[in-house]
Amino acid sequence: MKQEFNLVATAAAGLEAVVGREIRNLGRDCQVENGRVRFKGGVREIAETNLWLRAADRIKIIVGEFPARTFEELFQGIFALDWENYLPLGAKFPVSKAKCVKSKLHNEPSVQAISKKAVVKKLQSYYHRPEGVPLQETGAEFKIEVSILKDKATVMIDTTGPSLFKRGYRTDKGGAPIKENMAAAIILLSNWYPDKPFIDPTCGSGTFCIEAAMIGMNIAPGFNRDFAFESWDWVDSDLIQEVRDEAEDKADYDIELDILGSDIDGWMIELAKKNALEAGLQDVIKLKQMQLQDLKTDKVNGVIVSNPPYGERLLDDKAVDILYNEMGKTFAPLKTWSKFILTNDENFEKKYGAIADKKRKLYNGTLRVDLYQYFGQRIKRTES
């Protein structure tokens, strides 16, 4: 089997650089592109990135890249790839996704069907199976994806399974939760460190608080779930166990954290508590029912992260205007605190009453949103 693979970590638009930083922190060089970050590595890196990347969507192996302007080119290009190095006899290998962008080939179902035929033909020939007799696909699953961008095909195998944002702690969604990997990315973009207080005053199901606690304790985000590659026969299960054991050793369960989530809705607080319990963080995160207008604190240098209701989504426009205005008034006295607010409202700054120090364009699912960033003032120490 192969020792080294060309890999990509896929990421939501706007989060690629965060994922790139995470991969470098794991000790791998990488190249940041639109929607994905490329890097190289073996099975260990596949395991480590799946387990540790907080902001990515999926880790995929690039089996090959080639020009594909016609179905014949696509078929031959796929047939020529070294499928025998990935797919054992008996493997299940759906071509689960085809995406064509700015390319001559644009019929995605046909791209899927042709790609499948090419892989089948290659395996029949490699494993000396008669043509015309379908391959038995009863074994582990290898999801194949074909993306054609400007007439260049990239053929990948997904190693992750359900997207990495599915950490396994969410018991119920509640109203409009933010994706776990987006929440983690925003905290990684903020200037929060585990020694600073953290508040999400519109915490809903508690996603930001749970992600902050996992970052603070250095808990691997994937510790509570499995990944597709773990069922592949050429993946050494001892190596996976080693990577999981190392993650367990790296976690710091004793660190003191000051993380508070509050929400006006008592039912959401109950849900947040259930999720925190599922993540094993019920004693780490404080959760209470409170309207954000009542937020007061004497603590300094903290970080507030909030994903308040947006106009069309949860509240009517007038109520949102009032809420953003009150938010501005409530946060203003907290001068040393940094505030990170995610909303799709383009007039947010006007309603909130202050111009952001920085804005970052992100996508919450398909909804374009901005992260409004207000940095806290540093307290100057008096020289003695």
Residues that bind ligand SAH (CB under 6 A): 174-178, 201-202, 204-205, 207-208, 263-265, 268, 291-292, 307-309, 323
Instruction: Please report how close the Cβ of residue 353 comes to ligand SAH at its closest, in angstroms.
Output: 16
CA distances from 284 to 159, 190, 213, 271 (A): 32, 20, 7, 16
In contact, 303 and 321? CB cutoff 8 Å: no
If the CB atoms of residues 154 and 181 are measured against ligand SAH, the closer one turns out to be: 181
Q: How far is CA 160 from the centre of its chain?
A: 12
What's the angle, vertex CA 366, arms to CA 362 and CA 372, rounded to 5? Answer: 25
β pairing state of 95-101 and 143-149? parallel
At position 311, the amino acid (one-letter code) is G
Closer by beta carbon to ligand SAH, 49 or else 207 = 207
Query: Among candidates 342, 335, 331, which has minimal Cα distance to 365?
Result: 342
Shortest Å distance, C-beta 295 to ligand SAH: 8
In this complex, which beta carbon is closest to ligand SAH, that of residue 87 or of residue 269? 269
Output the smallest distance, CB 178 to ligand SAH, in A.
4
Query: Which residue lies nearer to ligand SAH by CB, 95 or 371?
Result: 371
Q: How far is the CB of 217 from ligand SAH (least distance, A)?
A: 19
Residue 210 CB, shortest distance to ligand SAH, in Å, is 9
Task: Output the smallest distance, CB 332 to ligand SAH, in A.
Answer: 16
Cα–Cα dist 366/363, whole Å: 6
Considering beta carbons, is residue 143 or 170 the nearer one to ligand SAH? 170
- Calculate the alpha carbon distances from 112 to 98, 105, 116, 292 in Å: 6, 11, 6, 50
Give least dist CB 261 to ligand SAH, A: 9
Q: Which residues contact 135 (CB under 8 A, 6 or more apart)?
A: 89, 90, 120, 123, 124, 129
Closer Cβ to ligand SAH, 178 or 214, answer by number: 178
Q: Which is nearer to ligand SAH, 41 or 206 (CB)?
A: 206
First-residue to last-residue Cα distance in the chain = 65
Of the pair 181, 338, the CB lying nearest ligand SAH is at 181
Residue number, nearest CB to ligand SAH = 204
Where are the extended beta strands (E) located within the chain? 5-10, 31-33, 36-41, 58-67, 95-101, 143-149, 152-158, 198-200, 259-263, 285-289, 303-306, 338-343, 358-364, 367-374
Sorted by sequence, the CB contacts under 8 Å of residue 337 that are 6+ apart come out as 300, 301, 302, 303, 304, 331, 376
Q: Closest distance between ligand SAH and the C-beta of residue 206, in Å?
A: 7
β-pairing verdict for 367-374 and 5-10:
unpaired
CB of 183 to ligand SAH, least distance (A): 6
Q: Would you say 141 or 321 has its CB closer to ligand SAH?
A: 321
